[in-house]
A and B are shown apart, each in its own frame.
Chain A
Amino acid sequence: MRLRQVRRVAQGLGVVLAFLGVAGIGMTHVIYPGLHCYACPWAVTVCPVGLLQNLVIARTVPLYFVGALTLYGVALGRGWCGWFCPFGTLNDLLAFRRRRFGKGLTATKFAVLVGTVIVAWRVADSWFCKLCPEASLVASLPYLGMGLAQVNTPFLIHMGTLAGTLVGMVLVARFWCRYLCPMGALLSLFNRVSLFGLRVEGERCTACGVCGRVCPMGIEPHRDINSTDCIKCGRCVTGCPTRALSLGFSLPGKEGRDPLRRPRARPRADGVSSHQ
């Protein structure tokens, strides 16, 4: 229960940082550690995916971008998706159903990432931004309200991607984060080495599968701990009946951080570890 409240506060902070421009603060040099369009009238940080495309178009060696992303990744990995990203928070709020759906499709987000970069390179245009549902929500709609945007084809395309994503979010938990988010794909590369991560105590795990059932990302943490899709939200930790899972900061490679190397002995019916 406590973990969940802490996470809600952190997600609130993510939303506050995303819309800090309301307080009259101008654009800063900071790269946002999640997906948040810099075209949003109240954004004070730079969207990493938008910036990446611009760097590719400008043929800039992306030192600042890679440096910031590496430090973000090393700190939390995809924990940013579960604990900070406002669009991830919206996914959470709309996750009415936890339907399992196309597990093999989770690699799509890597295709989106690679495609975004290739298109930016070849066409010299930021096509992802033109389709991005987050931009539809926080940029296109506000600009329509301010009279700067018009209801034209690009606007309707934006609304289409937003509607499709919202429907997806309602039907499949963390739909966007699971299948499509290029920022999630980038951060997932760091999941295994990030300081923030899940740990499993093999002796306690009874492989009951509860963690997999509560996981919004549709993974089975006890089998595939800190996998590329794990957003470290901690649902599995609070859901685990034997408290085999824990979440916190630890060095990568520490016992329990990696997937279990060999199948454990069949657990005793009373749940007591065979070592005891």
Chain B
Amino acid sequence: MNLLVVVVFAVTLGAWAQNVEVRLEPGDGSRLGDWAQASVPLRLKPTGPQDVKFDGPSLATALWGEFALGQAKYAVLLGTRATGEVNLWVDRNRDRRLTTDEGQAGTAGPGRSTWSVSLRAEPSGGEPYTYALSILWPEGRGYVYLLGGAPKVGTLIVDQRSYRLAFLDGDLDGVYGTKGDFYAVDVDGDGVFYADPDGHERFELGETFTVGDKTYRLAQVAPSGTFVRVAPTVYAPPKPALIPGHPAPDFRFTSLVEDRSLALSDFRGKVVLLDFWATWCGPCMNELPHLKDLHAKYRGQGFEIVGVSLDIYPAELKRVVEGEGLAWPIAFEGKQWDNSLALMYRVYQIPTSYLLDRKGVIRYRDLHGGELEQKIMELLAEGSAQAPEAVPLPPVVLPAGPPRSILELNLPPRAGLVARGKTQTTLQLVNTSPYEAEEVKVLVQNLPAGVKAQEVEVGNIPPFGERTVTLAFEAQDLPTALPAGLVLVVYHYCIGDACFQMVDKGELAWVVGREAPVRASWNPWWVLVAVGVALLAAWALKGRLLVVVLVLLVVGGSLALALGIRRGQARQAERVGATLCTSCVGIEEAPRRQVALSAQARSILATLTRRVRVTVFYTAWCKSCPYVKAVVQAMAQVNPLVEVELVDAEGEPARAEAAGVLRAGRLVVPATVVAGSGQVLFGADNIEDRVLQQLVRVGR
């Protein structure tokens, strides 16, 4: 036994001795590259933390937020003065008072304002350190982005060779080594970190890296980022580089169209466009006609497309492939991001494409339109004998990290089932991001035998919005053992032209009841009638009988209140109070005239050359909203480049709030937002001219 302890101790000591410590110093994020600037959205609210006070100038609107760097919490106030000037205050000294001297000097760009601030992070178990942060506000939005990540850099020495190592606080929580953080190692020693989300020199915390013939893993990370310790581990081949000039990793797949096994290397001698796409990805589908044209035009000269579909449902993919008549091989596994080819190519957003030359070397990536055609022609002209030239690196336009879930799934602790009966359970989906979750579907798998559940189509969930989903179950005879069900939430979201398909999962435990709950069906009008009758009786009765009336009123009133709350009427009341219709409260008059765009307005609209989205926020009872809706719809008819979106502000308050349709704590309708203008146009007064002005600014 003692010998065993000694051996274990010796092995542990030996392993410890092989660990390599890398001291880290603060690095310059702007010199490291775009990957070294992490971004996290921070939602702002009209009300601040209860204990934070603001001693500053009077503000027309105020939006509050709070974030933590380790144990240090910082309150943020984004205030707009009556003059329209926007200021940001950060509680730098954390005394829960925002004072004038805590206002930050910012820079305003087109449609955005940015403030730089130097704060102190206090990680638990580590030394406090200085944390440089930028705060970016897309104008008119109900959120800001925290930008930074406080990169730390150091040098790792292996076999007398030195490799640079960088560590990033990717989740901007002020603590290194927590979920969302990552590191980069310049494994090829060329002085550049290829650490974009699909870069071969970027590594997640649990990922190993290989330098020379040795593979290492992270053994320890100092919470304040002063050092990391790496330990040798089992050799793993290095990640292939997916940058121009490097050979494209080969793979084998079964073509969906021809139903035969193919390899990428089978196309050696041809110029190949390797295209990762899906039918649910709007930008990918928009690109399809162009790809079809290119394929038809250059196929005879040695051009081929290899598509890798990240779809889930084969029927949907086949419908598109057959409907569009796609004649190139398409790989399909039905695993979305877990598709082995997508994993091999570290695809984290689609569309993603690589253009390979006749030797199978990556030459370009993410080319579209005329530029793609030109490069195809160039590569076809090169001929197979010509060696690839040194190709400049493409510009990095990758904005975010790998696809991550944006929906929070709140499941009930248990869902009820009854034999030979129907039951329901509700779950909540909360969008935690400023991106719209599109085509959200909820389905349940692993259902017990004899239980059926319908797939629920939720539709889109706006930024920071939430939805309650009701799942209905129908059961026959139930077995005694009920394994947990698996709730799948399938959706996708897009950031700019990059789209991500997600499947979030949750477990659903079952509880078996004897019979289906019977819902009492009675008309709540009777409660109101009872109250009315009691009031009439109060006029007619005298003396002690009035006590009976009083009891009736208390019971009737309480019942009505409880029923009203249960039916969501308290929330309705709050929404009525929180939404302000400019014509309803007499801030302006609701226009009752017919919409007629002037000839001048039509000619101005005809000059728009870029697609512009115009969103009108309205409520059902707003009197001037129909007019505003009609105006923007008339504009869209004149020029189809004007895309109109109508949003019920009452139904989607979070979205309206995120769009900045908020004044003095109220959602104000009608409100018109021309995407990219950074302004919200309230009311219907002179709305034609005001929208036109913004369209001209953005759409030309």
Contact = CB atoms under 8 A, between A and B. Distances in A.
A70 B576 contact: no
Contact of A46 (B539, B560, B573, B623): B573
Given A146-B664, A192-B546, A135 B557 contact: no
Contacts of A147: 60, 82
B48 A63 contact: no
Contacts of A21: 665
Given A67-B560, A129-B586, A189 B60 contact: no
A148 B583 CA distance: 12
Interface string B330-354: 0000000000000000000000000
Nearest to B573: A46
B386 interface: no
A73 B682 CA distance: 38
Given A64-B569, A252-B547, A155 B620 contact: no
Contacts of B580: 39
B104 interface: no
B668 interface: yes
A38 interface: yes
Nearest to A147: B82
A270 B48 CA distance: 66
A154 B588 contact: yes
B531 interface: yes
B14 interface: no
B525 A61 contact: yes
Contact of B664 (A41, A45, A135, A157): A41
Contacts, number: 196
A24 B48 contact: yes
Contacts of A153: 589
A25 B553 CA distance: 32
B447 interface: no
Interface residues of B, number: 65
A155 B587 contact: yes
A71 B554 contact: yes
Contact of A253 (B542, B562, B665): B542
A190 B588 CA distance: 36
A170 to B, nearest CB: 24
A51 B557 CA distance: 17
Given A68-B561, A148-B664, A253-B542, A155 B524 contact: no
Interface in B213-257: none
B59 to A, nearest CB: 10
A29 B47 contact: no
A64 B82 contact: no
Nearest to B663: A148
A38 B576 contact: yes
Interface string A14-45: 00000001001111110100000111010101
Given A45-B577, A60-B572, A61-B525, A26 B46 contact: yes
Contacts of B527: 63, 66
Interface string B597-624: 0000000000000000000000011010
A139 B580 CA distance: 11
Contact of B554 (A47, A69, A74, A131): A74
Interface in A93-108: none
A92 interface: no
A253 B664 contact: no
A59 to B, nearest CB: 11
A70 B557 CA distance: 5
B565 interface: yes
Contacts of B559: 67
Contacts of A135: 585-586
A40 B545 CA distance: 42
B389 interface: no
A6 interface: no
A193 B536 CA distance: 11
Interface in B525-584: 525, 527-528, 531, 535, 538-539, 541-547, 549-550, 553-554, 556-565, 567, 569-574, 576-578, 580, 582-584
Contacts of A5: none
B560 A130 contact: no
Interface string A44-80: 0111001100100110111111111111011000000
A39 B258 CA distance: 65
B685 interface: yes
Contact of A26 (B543, B553, B573, B665): B665
A14 B232 CA distance: 71
Given A26-B47, A29-B574, A54-B576, A148 B682 contact: yes
B588 A152 contact: yes
B666 interface: yes
A46 B574 CA distance: 7
A63 B584 contact: no
A131 B585 CA distance: 9
Nearest to A158: B586
A43 B586 contact: no
Contacts of B572: 58, 60, 64
Contacts of B542: 253, 258
A46 B557 contact: no
A190 B535 CA distance: 7
Nearest to B574: A29
A129 B622 CA distance: 13
Given A146-B664, A148-B587, A152-B685, A43 B577 contact: yes
A74 B550 contact: yes
A67 B587 contact: no
A72 to B, nearest CB: 9
A225 to B, nearest CB: 12
Q: Which of B543, B550, B557, B577 has the most CB of A within 10 A?
A: B577
A22 to B, nearest CB: 11
Contacts of A70: 531, 553-554, 556-557, 560-561
A146 to B, nearest CB: 5
B573 A251 contact: no
A272 interface: no
Given A130-B584, A130-B586, A74 B557 contact: yes
A206 interface: no
B544 A253 contact: yes
Nearest to B82: A147
A195 B664 CA distance: 38
A155 B588 CA distance: 7
Contact of B666 (A39, A51, A140, A192): A39
Interface string B658-681: 000001111010000000000000
Given A57-B621, A74-B557, A27 B578 contact: yes
A29 to B, nearest CB: 4
Contacts of B571: 29
Interface of B: 45-48, 60, 62, 82, 524-525, 527-528, 531, 535, 538-539, 541-547, 549-550, 553-554, 556-565, 567, 569-574, 576-578, 580, 582-589, 620-621, 623, 663-666, 668, 682, 685
25 contacts: A21-B665, A26-B45, A28-B574, A28-B577, A29-B573, A38-B576, A39-B580, A46-B573, A47-B577, A61-B525, A64-B561, A67-B559, A70-B553, A70-B556, A140-B587, A148-B664, A148-B682, A149-B588, A150-B588, A152-B685, A154-B586, A192-B539, A192-B546, A251-B546, A251-B550
Q: Which 4 residue pairs are nearest across A and B when measured between Cβ atoms?
A: A64-B564, A67-B561, A70-B557, A67-B560
Given A54-B621, A60-B569, A64-B561, 4 more contacts: A26-B45, A28-B577, A74-B553, A126-B585
